[in-house]
Structure formats: structure tokens, C-alpha cells
Amino acid sequence: MALDILQHIFLISIILSPFFFSLVFQVSCHEEHCFDSSSSPTACPNVSVKDRILRLAYDEETVDWMKQIRRKIHEHPELAFEEVKTSELIRHELDHLGVAYRWPVARTGVVATVGSGFPPFVALRADMDALPIQELVEWEHKSRVDGKMHACGHDAHVAMLLGAAKILQKLRCTLQGTVVLIFQPAEERGEGAKDMIKESVLENVEAIFGLHIVPEYPLGVVATRPREFLAGCGSFKATISGKGGHAAVPQQTIDPILAASTAVISLQNIISRETDPLDSKVVSVAMIHGGTAFNVIPDSTTIAGTFRAFSKKSFNALRDRIEEVIKAQAAVHRCSAKIDFSGKEHPTIPPTVNDEKVHEHVMRLSREIVGEENTKLAPTFMGSEDFAFYLDKVPGSFLFLGINNEKTGAIHPPHSPYYTIDEDVFPIGAAIHAAFAHSYLSNSTRSSI
């Protein structure tokens, strides 16, 4: 009899557990006053969510906090999959905010969650790796690691996503679902996103958002476009084999250098004579190696390069045509060719394709935050981003956020040793992150996307 009673209690507890968790969540939210320390619960309904987010983002203490985080990360840059101190700092700040997280993910990555813990789920992403570049900018928080530098703004991306985490944690009682915060390693290697996906960071996620700061636009300008935005990036390495011998008697050899030379020229014809000018593509041979002496024809020659295109169809067709051209030119000159597209050092990254409905939602929010005059339709861009791997799995949108400011020296391109950012961008980026996640989770917004 006692056993039956215990079993009934156990079953009832399982059935009621979601309700109980939700009730506890709501109570804890009300105890935290919903928004910020200056707000009372009764004042909350009279202030729009956008205004609350902006007020929290531009709070002087929060802005200074984001700056200090970015500067600590900048002083200790870490390359792909080496982001140990960066990950530790992120976890420390999440602990301080009371935000739960999972770690390690993809070796050094961190995945945090804010909200109810129940569906729907929406994701925000920041990359966190540095580059093997010697910093030449003289300032108080210059890199302390020789030959390594945050020259692409990933330190700022982490600071802004932590800023969004702080905002969303204060607004968590108003979140109608769960926000997944992805702190990703190894974007520069093109491997981090793939490895994070393998560890189920997108499980149950309905949409994802990411941004990248750029000096191409003035401070605070948002620029993006629907559908194809950034190019897919692939690499190839072809070994062309012939028969070596003395250069004085070439008729006794099968010259792989000649075959490689004609292959390089023929590859350019793919773009100039086979590609629609409105369908932008790039094929660049950036490396050629063959021979060790001026009078000896080698047994083999290696060429390598990159190819890029904006649509998946064009990208895959370009890859196939590169292989066909190299093998055909090798055969014409009696050589054989073996081509490697595996990209062990430079993985293939698909095109970054923004979902049209999510893109429109992002642009509406951006206009509310930075103004109509500061939102632009960006042109397609031949650079690539491993955020594309996320967009291959779930709908989402990626945008550029301008940091250009001559007064602060934020004029140099990414991957430059003189790369500098304008830290006034932090509250803008944090606000856009938080506004997207918060609004997406509302029932009315999700039904329209």
C-alpha cells in the first residue's frame, strides 16, 4: 500500500514538474523586480521593452564593464582552440551574472542559457579567437603575447554578447522562452562553428543571430542584406605528376611545370569566359611550387589556391569545374593530377545566406535602435564567415556593425597589425543582440517570421 502511494506521488511530481519550474521561475523574476535596479515592478508596464533594453545597454556601469572585459581579452589573445583564458573569463562573468552554462564545448567553447529553460529557443553567437599577428598599436591594453593579436574584433564580439547576457538576465521574467548564448572558438580556422554544431548547440534552436564589427561603415551603422551576403570559401591543392629529367633534353621528360602553367591560365577562363558577370565568382591560384634546380625538370609540381562564390549552386559548380580543368590540362601534357579539396588547413566554408524573414525582423529592430539613417543595404562581400554553418542548419541573419572613427583610429581593416576599434560600439551591439532575442521569443513576432 505504501509503495503504491509513493508511486502515485512520483508520477504526479513528474507531471507537475514543468508547471512547478515555471511557477518558481515567475516568482524569482518578480523577486528580482523584472528590469533594472532603478525600476519598480509597477513601473515596468509603462516602459517599452526597447527602451528598457537601451537603458540597460547604455548604463554607464555596464558600458565600462564591457570595455574592461574586452581589454582583458585583448591583452591575452589566444588562437583557435587555445582560448583557455578567454573561456575562463567568460565563465567567471556568467557566474557573476547568475547565468547557467555548459563547458567545455568544442574544446574551449561556452554555451549559456537565459530564460525559462523551455521552448522556443533562439541563439546568439560570438566568436572569441585571435590571429597570429604582431600588434603595432601602442596603447595601454596592447597585446602582451608576442605574435598574437585580436585583429578582427572577436574580443569586442565577446564583450557585446556578455553585455546582452546581462541585459537579458535582468529581463528574464519577460522572456517567453530561452536564449542560447554561443561563445565559439576557432572562427578564423573555419572549424569552430562546425565543431559546436556537432556538440548539439543548435538543438531545438529555431533561429540564430550574429554580427561582426567592421571599419567599412561609420560607428553605429548597421549593414546587411537578405539571402546571399558573404561568399563561400574553398581551397584546392593540386599535385601534377609527370616524368623528371635533364632540362637540356625535355623530349625525354614529361614536364609537369608546363602542365601546371597552362592549368593556372585555364582556371582564369572559368571566370572570364564561363561565368555570368552578374554571378560573382573568384578563382585565385596563390601558390605554385615545382623543381629545385634551374636545369632539372621535376617529377611533379604543386599549385594551390582559393575559390569563392555567393550561391551554393555556383560554389559547388565552381569546385567541380576547377577539378575538371586541372585534370584536363594535365592530360593534354601527358601528366596526371591529384586534387585535394579537403581543406585540412583551410576548411571549406559555405556561403553566408541570410533568411529573408529573419533578416527583415533584424532590420526593423536595428532601425529602432540606431535609426533609419544608420541602416544600410550592404553589397555582397567576398569575405567568408563560419557563421554560415549555423545558417545551413537553422534560419538566421548576420550583419555588419560599423566602427569607423578617425578620431579613435578605427580605420584599419581586419587582420591589420594596426587594427583598432571604437569601444562606443559596445552598447549598440549588446542592445541589438538582446532586442533580437527578446522580440523573437514573443509569440506575436514568431508567428510573423
Using pLDDT thresholds of 50, 70 and 90, give the confidence band for residue 42. very low
Q: Residue 124: CA atoms inside 13 Å, Cβ hemisphere, count?
A: 32
Q: What is the pLDDT of residues 409-428, one digit of tens each?
A: 999 999 999 999 999 999 99
Q: List Cβ neighbours of 58 (8 Å cut-off, separation of 6 or more).
A: 427, 431
Amino acid (one-letter) located at 444? S
Query: Do 219 and 403 form a contact (C-beta atoms < 8 A)?
Result: yes
What nine digits make up the cell of 196? Answer: 559546436
Query: Do 220 and 414 form a contact (C-beta atoms < 8 A)?
Result: no
Taking the C-alpha atoms of residue 139 and residue 379, their distance in angstroms, rounded to an integer, is 34
What nine digits make up the cell of 273? Answer: 569566359
Q: Which domain holds residue 324?
A: 232-340
Q: What is the pLDDT of residues 199-210, one digit of tens each?
A: 999 999 999 999
Q: How many domains does the chain have?
A: 2
Closest CA to 129 of 103, 155, 107: 155
Residues 72 and 155 in one domain: yes
Closest CA to 232 of 141, 343, 67: 343
Mean pLDDT of all residues in the chain?
Answer: 91
Which residue positions form the known binding site? Answer: 152, 154, 188, 212, 415
pLDDT higher than 90, residue 291: yes
Q: What pLDDT does residue 417 have?
A: 98
pLDDT higher than 80, residue 396: yes
Q: What pLDDT does residue 444 have?
A: 62
Residue 281 lies in a domain: yes
Provide the pairing of β-strand 109-115 with 178-184.
antiparallel
Phi, psi (5° rounding) for residue 168? -65, -35
| CATH number, domain containing residue 317 | 3.30.70.360
| CATH number, domain containing residue 377 | 3.40.630.10
Residues 278 and 399 in one domain: no
pLDDT higher than 80, residue 146: yes
Q: What pLDDT does residue 207 have?
A: 98
pLDDT higher than 80, residue 20: no
User: What is the pTM (predicted TM-score) of this model?
Assistant: 0.87
Which residue positions form the known binding site for Mn(2+)? Answer: 152, 154, 188, 212, 415
Amino acid (one-letter) located at 119? P
